[in-house]
Amino acid sequence: MTDTPMNPMNQAMNPTEPLKPNTNGMLRLFVYGTLKPGFWNHDRFCRGVLAVEDAVVRGRLFETSSGIPVLQVPEEDILAVGTTNPRADVATQAHVTARVSNPEPTPDRPPKKGTGAPWGDVYGEPLTFDDPETRLPTIDRLEGFYPGGPCLYRRVLVPILVNGAVLPAWLYVGENPMSRRFTPLGESRWPR
């Protein structure tokens, strides 16, 4: 894979303009819990978001004893695992987005429908940011994501469905939520 150099000129100048899905420097983060608009961590960590949309990902939701949601996605849907380098992670997202947009067959898959238990549709919102070098390390710390060390969550790149289009987005998944005795929600959206 060839890393595309970051170019601030490719960033959106007007947040109301539609964003190109493979714009360099743009971070797409699918949120399904306390980072969603209207919840306590959104105001603290997501102020200045350029775009918020509705989307769906294939997975299943759990809840901690303190009521915090935890998402699990199928391993085969994971396109990449996050690193400590925000620029590299944004470049990976852009590279995968370009492959998904390419009409030639690729190993990237849209979220699967009707694949049976235990996977289903989980609803959330992809947030688009133009400051990944500032934003990503802060949210990684909030989520307890420390690549190479013990983590509460992992940040992974997976396909999400947004307005009928498949786009890769980063999201945080729980490290083996079934072994931690989290409660399965049986719902496709948090809060219930």
Give the rounded distance of the alpha carbon of 81 from its chain centre.
Answer: 11
9 lies in some domain: no
87 lies in some domain: yes
Q: Residue 179: its pLDDT value, please?
A: 64
180 lies in some domain: yes
Q: Residue 183: its pLDDT value, please?
A: 87
Q: Residue 102: its pLDDT value, please?
A: 66
pLDDT digits (tens, 9 = 90+) for 43-56: 999 999 999 999 99
Q: Residue 151: its pLDDT value, please?
A: 86
Which domain, by its residues, includes 86?
Answer: 26-184
55 lies in some domain: yes
Q: Read off the pLDDT of each residue in 14-24 and give the average, rounded to a whole number.
A: 41
The total domain count for the chain is: 1
Q: Residue 25: its pLDDT value, please?
A: 83
CATH for 110: 3.10.490.10
> CB–CB of 139/29 below 8 Å?
yes
Q: Which has the higher per-residue pLDDT, 145 or 25?
A: 145
Q: Residue 177: its pLDDT value, please?
A: 64
Q: Residue 43: its pLDDT value, please?
A: 92
7 lies in some domain: no
pTM of the model: 0.80
pLDDT band at 182 (very low <50, low <70, confident <90, very high): confident
Q: Residue 118: its pLDDT value, please?
A: 82
Q: Which has the higher per-residue pLDDT, 154 or 100?
A: 154
118 lies in some domain: yes
83 lies in some domain: yes
**Which residues in 148-165 are b (16+ Cβ under 10 Å) and which e?**
eeebbbbbbbbbbbbeee
pLDDT band at 7 (very low <50, low <70, confident <90, very high): very low
- Residue 9, pLDDT > 80, answer no
